[in-house]
Amino acid sequence: MGEKIGGEATFRSILIAGAGPVGLTAALELARRGFTPRIIDDGPGPTPVEESRALGVNARTLTLLSPSGVAERIVDAAQSIDCFRVRAGERTLFELDASQVQGRFSAIRGLAQGQTERLLLEALSSYGILPEWRTAIVAGEIADFRKPEVTVRRPDGAMETVRPDILVGADGAHSVVRKALGARFPGEALEAYFYLVDFRYSGQIDTHFGEVSIFDPGMIGRLPVASDVVRYISTLEDFESRIVHPATIAERLWASQFRIHFRHVEPMAKGNVFLAGDAAHIHSPAGARGMNLGIEDACWLAWLIAEGREQEYSALRIPAVKQVLKQTYGLTRLITMTNPLAIAMRNLIAPLVLRFGPARRVLLRSVAGYDTPKPPWIDWAE
């Protein structure tokens, strides 16, 4: 690994709003470069493991988290997803071997977001840094982006004025930091809802594959969460009645529904205030890029801060964000189409195109997250 550690680390105060995967990664990457960031979150603690929306940890994220040692812990805890397949009725439209991606890691692994957060917390605690829970930035405008000043509400209700050198908003889709910047969050929402449910099984199940079953219209996706837990995600409100369970159900763990939005801010920074993850961009879960793209943001920002080049952050990240939003939008439209003619064309053309090596490699690199710029501070081959 080749990496330059910034020499001015201890002389800059950094406040991170949000202690999800993105905020925790930003704090960890800064800490191992010699900074002592303060990280706050208005929640009571990390995401409950049984209520984790994000599941996929791709190869790019594992590469980024390798220097901190978190990647190896994720690999040990996660479910290996060896192949993906898309089916329409009894017909398999195409299948991808996830191990065929080049590099140190397979394309993607399944791990509940809550577990990923706990692994990041464990690594961060080794630097003596822990999030301040039930602590939040109070809504209000930031008058000077070069010298941000915010009011923080502590758990006891007391107010504190904080003037960090750098403020990072990793506080989710409803980001208080983004609103304090006065930044627009343009985009669109799909009319259709998505539904998900997690089941724990009492019998032995195969958790080494991901699958999408297309019902024309509508779909049900299947992803492993743990060795005995599978998540199903669908565009069909009655999808639970259509699930073919692989074993006896032990427990229905969690269910949720949500609408898909495609939005991003531009620029992703003003002065010394920076936005990362869902605070800066949200999109469909198709391709499992949401959490992974946010972790990329955090790692790039930490490196740039250490290099004294943080003003380059937005220009470097916006192209990657736009690319991923375009891809996930296309994938989402592909699996949610309702026009019979369009469906027939998709079912005919997709298997033909993906028979060829170049198309399969492009899709696999996207799943692995290798289609965004390679981090220059890590010299492992991909």
Q: Looking at residue 382, what is its pLDDT?
A: 60
Kindly state the percentage of the chain with pLDDT values over 90.
Answer: 62
C-alpha count within 13 angstroms, C-beta hemisphere, residue 195: 13
Greater model confidence, 59 or 352: 59
The answer on pLDDT for 4 being more than 50 is no
Strands 229-234 and 187-201: antiparallel
Alpha helices (H) along the chain: 21-31, 59-64, 70-77, 113-125, 176-181, 290-307, 313-336, 340-353, 357-368
What lies within 8 Å, CB to CB, of 337 at 6+ separation is 217, 343, 346
Q: Looking at residue 67, what is its pLDDT?
A: 95
By the 8 A CB rule, do 273 and 167 touch? yes
The answer on pLDDT for 165 being more than 90 is yes
Q: How high is the mean pLDDT of the chain?
A: 89
Which class is domain 9-368? alpha beta
Give rounded-to-5 percent helix, strand, coil for the chain.
35, 25, 40
DSSP secondary structure string, 336-363?
H---HHHHHHHHHHHHHHTTSHHHHHHH
By the 8 A CB rule, do 121 and 134 touch? no
Give the CA distances from residue 209 to residues 79, 80, 230, in Å, rounded to whole numbers and listed in that order. 9, 8, 11
DSSP secondary structure string, 239-286?
GGGG---SS-EEEEEEEEEEEEEEEE-SSSEETTEEE-GGGTEE--ST
Question: Mean pLDDT: which of 158-162, 283-287, 354-358 is highest?
Answer: 158-162
Q: Which amino acid is at 343?
A: I
Q: Looking at residue 287, what is its pLDDT?
A: 67
Question: Domain map of the chain by residue range?
Answer: 9-368
What tens digit of pLDDT does each residue of 236-286 get?
899 999 999 999 999 999 999 988 888 999 999 999 999 999 999 998 777
Q: Which residues pair with 251 in a beta bridge?
A: 200
Distance of CA 150 to the CA centre of its chain: 27
Strands 273-275 and 166-169: parallel
Question: Mean pLDDT: which of 138-142, 161-165, 200-204, 337-341 is highest?
Answer: 161-165
What lies within 8 Å, CB to CB, of 63 at 6+ separation is 71, 103, 104, 105, 375, 378, 380, 382
What tens digit of pLDDT does each residue of 310-320 get?
999 999 999 99
